[in-house]
Amino acid sequence: MSSTTAERGVSSPRRRKGADAGDRVAYVLLIPWAIGMLFTLIPFGVSLYLAFTDYDLLTSPAWVGLENFAHFANDPKAATAAKVTLVYTFVAVPISLAVALGIALLLNRGVRGLPFYRSAFYLPSLIGASVAIVMLWRSIFGHAGVVNRFLAFFGIDGPGWTTDPDWALMTLVTLSVWGFGASMVIFLAGLRQIPRMYYEAASVDGATPARQFFSITMPLLSPVLFFNLVLGLIGSLQTFTQAYVFSGGTGGPADSTLFFNLYLYQQGFQRFDMGYASALAWIMFVVIAIFTAVNFLVSKYWVFYDD
């Protein structure tokens, strides 16, 4: 007994010492993160300050209080940019999720060569926002591009997908939907997690496939759907590269692809109004935070955690 106590007496601090060492290793390993965080937090703070200044990039910032935010309230272009971004988000995100889920369900039925299809569908999402692909997209949908030639084959006079202000945004939606692969892979993983026994039991009870989908698949997949929805919304609201490359940075034709992020970039780097651009960035940040918060609040009513 005494030896046990002695043992404890020895081993206890040793164990704590071991834990300390573990903590230290953790902190050491966290150093790169901390350094990276500094590079995020500093610009974060600076941009918050700049949002309350008149700063033209070239001369020192001057404090103007809430002027930038007042300007935002009376800036019709900012309203256009907000509208473009919201329309895009509310069209592109649901369609992308539906397509991703649909393809994931198909692949989950046990397709031969699944790894191949999975990679093939996943690939576009890796490169969809890259400059080269957007350029390619532009030429495919160009006035004399592949799509219109294909349509002409059937006697259809295709619209100016990239040049007509009524179509350009929808062309970008198509590009976004094409990148459904990232959500699809996550859906697929989620589907694989659903125990087969639920379906077997349901079959025995005579549940139709549709009934099985809505009563088993959807509830058990809802956390994954929620995850994809949150990421999709945030990503879409922040769209920049596609719009920048697609319109040559103008947000054209006729401001139809003037995304909020692009507009704030224009203000900061082209119109010499970094103060206003910073204010816009913070407005965007707050709006995205609100969207995400609402998403989490509402999720209580439809997301089902099986544990």
Partner 1 sequence: MTTYVTRRGFITLVGSGAAVAAVAGCRPGTDGTAGDQAGGGAATSDVELRLMVWASAAEAERYEEDLAVFTDKTGIGVKLEFLDVGGYQDKLNTLFAAGDPPDVMFQVGRWIGEYATRGVLAELDQFSDVIDLDAVDAGLLEQATYQGKLYGVPTGSTTIAYVYDRELVTGLGLEMPDDTTWTWADFAAFNAAIYEASDGQTYGTGFYVPWLPTITQWARQHGQDLFTSDGTVGTDAATIGEYFQLIEDMRADGGFAAQGVLEDDSAASLEQSLLGRGVIASQIIPANQFSDLNSALDGRLQLMRVPGEVDGARRGYTVTPTLLWCQAAESEHPQEAAQLIDFLTNDPESYGARSIFLGVPANAEVAEVVAAEVSENEQAFVDFTLGVQSEDLPAYDMEPAGTGEVQNILVTLATEVEYQRMTPQQAGEEFMSQAAAALEAAG
Which ranges of the chain would DSSP assign to H, the alpha helix? Answer: 2-50, 67-73, 76-107, 114-127, 131-140, 146-153, 168-178, 181-193, 196-204, 209-212, 218-237, 241-246, 260-265, 274-302
Q: Contact with partner 1 (CB under 8 A): which of 81, 274, 280, 281?
A: 274
Does residue 67 touch partner 1 according to CB under 8 A?
Answer: no
With binding defined as CB under 8 A, does residue 241 bind partner 1?
Answer: no
249: contact with partner 1 by CB under 8 A: yes
State the nearest-atom distance from the C-beta of 177 to partner 1, in Å.
Answer: 23
If one asks whether residue 250 binds partner 1 (CB under 8 A), the answer comes out as: yes
Residue selected from 5, 40, 59, 74 as contacting partner 1 according to rule CB under 8 A = 59
Range 27-56, binding partner 1 (CB under 8 A): 56
Identify the residue among 25, 30, 37, 57 touching partner 1 (CB under 8 A): 57
Among 271, 291, 292, 295, binds partner 1 (CB under 8 A): 271
Applying CB under 8 A, which of residues 166, 193, 286, 304 lies at the interface with partner 1?
166
| b/e map 167-196, b = 16+ CB within 10 Å | bbbbbbbbbbbbbbbbbbbbbbebbeebee
With H, G, I as helix, E, B as strand and everything else as coil, classify residue 53: strand
Q: Judged by CB under 8 A, which stretch of 13-21, 114-122, 178-186, 262-270 contacts partner 1?
A: 262-270
Judged by CB under 8 A, the number of residues near partner 1 is: 28
Structure tokens at 189: 């993983």
Binding window for partner 1 (CB under 8 A); candidates: 28-36, 110-118, 158-166, 220-228: 158-166
Residue 89 is a binding residue for partner 1 (CB under 8 A): no
Residues 205 and 12: their CA atoms lie apart, in Å, by 56
Among the listed residues 47, 96, 125, 162, the single contact to partner 1 using CB under 8 A: 162
| Interacting residues with partner 1 between 115 and 154 (CB under 8 A) | 142-145
Whether residue 239 contacts residue 84, with contact meaning beta carbons closer than 8 Å, is answered with: no
Please give the angle made by the CA atoms of 18, 22 and 25, to the nearest 5 degrees.
140
- Convert 218-278 into a string of H (helix), E (strand) and C (coil): HHHHHHHHHHHHHHHHHHHHCCCHHHHHHCCCCCCCCCCCCCHHHHHHHHHHHCCCHHHHH
**Which residues make up the interface to partner 1 (CB under 8 A)?**
56-59, 142-145, 160, 162-166, 244, 248-250, 252-255, 266, 269-272, 274
